[in-house]
Every structure is written in C-alpha cells, then in structure tokens.
C-alpha cells in the first residue's frame, strides 16, 4: 500500500476537487507502478513505454484535453500538481509527460485565452479536435522538440528549422537536438520558422506543427547516454523536406508567438518533474534515517543530532520551494504583471536548483550506502542536475532576467 502523503495536501493548500483527484491518481500510479520500474529504465536509458500504457489506461494522457473532446479538461495548475506527483516516482516519465501534455495544454486552455479572429478560431478548433481524438482514442503520444543548439530555444532568435507553405500543407526542414521521446512519440510537435520569401526570419512567424513520426524524411540519429533523465531518450531529429498536411498545425500562424509573450508561465511546465524529485529526496531521507526503507535492515540513524539538523535544513528548503512554486503556478494567467513574471522565474530557479541541493544533502546525510544503485537517491541526484539546463528558462537565464528586469524598466538603458 502507498503511504506517501500528497506533496500538496488538498485541504491545506485548498486544492479544487479535480486537483485532489488527479494528484491522488498520479500518486497511486507512481507508487504502485512507476517507482519499481524507474531503475531499469534509467540503467538502460530506455523509454518508459509501460508507464505510458498505464497513463493512457488511467486517462492521464488526456489530462489537458478539454472535456468537450473527451479529456479531463485539467487547467494549468491541476496539470502541474499532477505531474509533480509523477516526478516523485520517475523523473523521466514526468519530464516526457510534460512534452506530451503541452501539445494539449498550449492548444487547449492557453490558446483559449489568446486572441484569434473567428476564422482562425474555427480553423484551430478543427485541427485540435483531430489531435485530441488521436490521444483520447488511440493513446497517441506527442513530443515537443524545439532545441536546436543555437539561441532559438532560449527565445532570442527565430528557429532555424523551417516550415515552407505549399499547397495543402507545409514542408519542414531542419534538425532538433535533445528531442525527448525521440523514436517513441507518434507525433513531433515541432517549433519552426515560417519561410516568407523576401522577408527576414522573425520569431513572430514561429509555427507549431505536428509531424507524424512515420512521415517520409523524418529520422532519429545520435546516441543517448547522458548523466541523468536517461529514460527521456532525447536524441536528435532530422527533418528532410518532410511534407505534412495543414491539419497538422497545432496553432494557427502567429499564435505561438502570442502564447510565448502573453502566457509566459507556459515555460514553467518543465518544473513539476523536479518538484517531485525534491519531495522524493526528502521522503527518502526520512525513511532511511528512521530505518524504514524497504529491503534494508532496520538500522535507525535518526538519533544523531547532525542528521536531525540536516533533515531540518532539507525541510526548510523544501517548504520554501513548495510555497514559492505553488504561488507561481496559482497566479499563472495571460498578461501577468511584471512582479508575477519575476516570481515565476524565481520559482523555476528555486525548483531546479533546490531539487539538486536536496539530493546532495540527502546523500551527504544518509551516507555511503545511499550512493548504491540499489537505492533511488543516486538516480534522483543525477536526474535533478538536469533541471537547471532546461531551456528556455534555465537557471542562468532566470537569474539573468530577474537581475536585469529588476533594475531596468522597459525602454531604459545605460
């Protein structure tokens, strides 16, 4: 039986009934199924296919598909809280789940907040209905490759992967790196720049298009043997003049740019995996020091004051992280104030850095045995290191923006 308490207690944090139900479901799946599989996926760097089967069977692949289309219709916060519970048991499943869910959240709840004229809205509704049906009915999985190895994924320059409009569709050409779920997703939700003859590339012309994994000209290349988050299988994707029908547009022209500028909290969706890891590091330490970790002799280490202080330090850091993150995800909305955006950067930074700091403290406190691969903490430690690297809101970029935007108002310079 799973005795893990919720990361965010529904009563204490005043969760909506849907949030309480979804987080409980994710916690049950995570504890009963994902936790036991995580070590093998990590060791062999293989995609968590069985976990995805479970997510589909439980209806969680459709968590952010609107109710009218057969999904849970979970809004942003409900998704974030649910994904954090998954991250507790398998970080790589939670991280890849994010790539999949964004194809529904961004095209669903977020897009409903954005401006589109009647024709665009109709077109968007037609297209997304097709994507949602694939997910709800057939358990199809979407990936979200945007990184290219240059400044595009940081949101600084246009994507160099190009989309050229042709009769009835688009021709996609380019290369994406670090494409989680590569070789396992059924569709790649590619961010690319529309080529407009005679015009300079612009971020405003970013297109978000689903490329079927089996389309002619799509290939996966490179190996994948990283430090952490190994089960994400984030290899390179090559698109060699790939034709896709125009129904595959995940957003109409101009809408991705609008989302990225008006709904900035959309980039925090990579953080729940690491919120879950932070909680898992704390939970492990408590069980270990109490001599209650399953399979280990019941040796108690909680009697030592140094262990108690270390656990206290961990608790303080965890509570700080949870409080800030919960506030940031609760106030996410279109056109947030400057204060809200700065808080979102601070929350992202805190989750990503503190998840790793908590894992470090857990290992120091629990000692040598905790480094063994038979226990989860060394995997949590390696997985947690990846959080700060996730573009577009890496830990460095968050600090950069908090500092600059705290000191300069728009239009000011020295």
Residues that bind ligand FAD (CB under 6 A): 99, 144-147, 149, 151, 153-154, 156, 178-180, 229, 232, 234, 386, 389-391, 394, 396-397, 400
Pick between residue 326 and residue 393 the one whose CB is nearest to ligand FAD. Answer: 393
Q: How far is the CB of 304 from ligand FAD (least distance, A)?
A: 36
Enumerate residues 6+ apart whose C-beta is below 8 A from 383.
42, 91, 92, 228, 229, 273, 277
Give 158-203 as a DSSP string: --SSEEEEETTEEEEEEEEEEETTTTT-SEEEEEEEEP-TTS---G
Q: How far is the CB of 237 from ligand FAD (least distance, A)?
A: 9
Pick between residue 162 and residue 234 the one whose CB is nearest to ligand FAD. Answer: 234
Q: How far is the CB of 397 from ligand FAD (least distance, A)?
A: 5
Q: How far is the CB of 388 from ligand FAD (least distance, A)?
A: 7
Pick between residue 103 and residue 321 the one whose CB is nearest to ligand FAD. Answer: 103
Pick between residue 19 and residue 42 the one whose CB is nearest to ligand FAD. Answer: 42
Pick between residue 178 and residue 282 the one whose CB is nearest to ligand FAD. Answer: 178
Alpha carbons 290 and 287: distance in angstroms, whole number: 5
Q: How far is the CB of 227 from ligand FAD (least distance, A)?
A: 8
Tokens linked to 186: 């059924």
Give whole-number Cα distances, 30 to 25, 342, 371, 393, in Å.
9, 32, 22, 27
What's the maximum distance between 2 C-alpha atoms anywhere in the chain? 73
Tokens linked to 19: 């949030």
Pick between residue 31 and residue 45 the one whose CB is nearest to ligand FAD. Answer: 45
Tokens linked to 91: 């970080």
CB 91 within 8 A of CB 48: no
Tokens linked to 207: 């297109």
Q: How far is the CB of 299 from ligand FAD (least distance, A)?
A: 35
């Amino acid at each position: 039986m799973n005795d893990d308490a919720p990361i965010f207690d529904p009563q204490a944090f005043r969760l909506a009934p849907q949030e309480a139900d979804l987080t409980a479901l994710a916690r049950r799946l995570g504890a009963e199924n994902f936790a036991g599989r995580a070590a093998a996926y990590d060791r062999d760097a293989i995609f968590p296919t069985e976990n995805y089967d479970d997510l589909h069977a439980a209806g969680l692949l459709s968590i952010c598909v609107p109710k009218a289309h057969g999904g849970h219709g979970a809004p942003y916060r409900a998704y974030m809280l649910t994904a954090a519970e998954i991250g507790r048991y398998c970080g790589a499943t939670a991280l890849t789940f994010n790539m999949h869910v964004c194809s529904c959240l961004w095209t669903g709840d977020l897009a409903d907040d954005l401006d589109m004229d009647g024709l665009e809205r109709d077109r968007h509704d037609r297209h997304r209905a097709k994507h949602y049906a694939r997910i709800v009915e057939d358990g199809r999985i979407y990936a979200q490759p945007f990184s290219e190895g240059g400044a595009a994924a940081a949101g600084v320059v246009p994507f160099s992967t190009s989309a050229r409009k042709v009769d009835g569709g688009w021709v996609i050409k380019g290369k994406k790196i670090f494409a989680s779920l590569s070789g396992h997703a059924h569709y790649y939700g590619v961010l690319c720049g529309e080529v407009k003859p005679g015009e300079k590339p612009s971020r405003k012309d970013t297109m978000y298009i689903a490329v079927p994994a089996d389309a002619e000209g799509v290939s996966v290349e490179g190996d994948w043997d990283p430090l952490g988050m190994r089960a994400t299988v984030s290899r390179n994707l090559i698109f060699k003049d790939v034709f896709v029908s125009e129904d595959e547009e995940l957003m109409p022209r101009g809408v991705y740019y609008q989302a990225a500028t008006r709904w900035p909290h959309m980039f925090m969706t990579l953080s729940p995996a690491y919120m879950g890891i932070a909680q898992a590091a704390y939970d492990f330490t408590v069980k270990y020091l109490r001599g209650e970790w399953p399979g280990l002799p019941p040796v108690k280490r909680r009697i030592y004051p140094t262990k108690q202080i270390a656990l206290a330090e961990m608790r303080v850091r965890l509570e700080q992280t949870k409080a800030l993150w919960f506030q940031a995800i609760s106030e996410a909305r279109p056109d947030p104030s400057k204060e809200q955006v700065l808080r979102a950067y601070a929350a992202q930074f805190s989750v990503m850095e503190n998840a790793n700091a908590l894992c470090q403290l857990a290992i120091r406190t629990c000692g040598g045995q905790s480094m063994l691969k038979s226990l989860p903490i060394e995997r949590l430690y390696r997985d947690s290191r990846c959080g700060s690297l996730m573009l577009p809101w890496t830990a460095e970029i968050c600090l950069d923006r908090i500092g600059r935007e705290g000191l300069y108002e728009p239009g000011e310079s020295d």
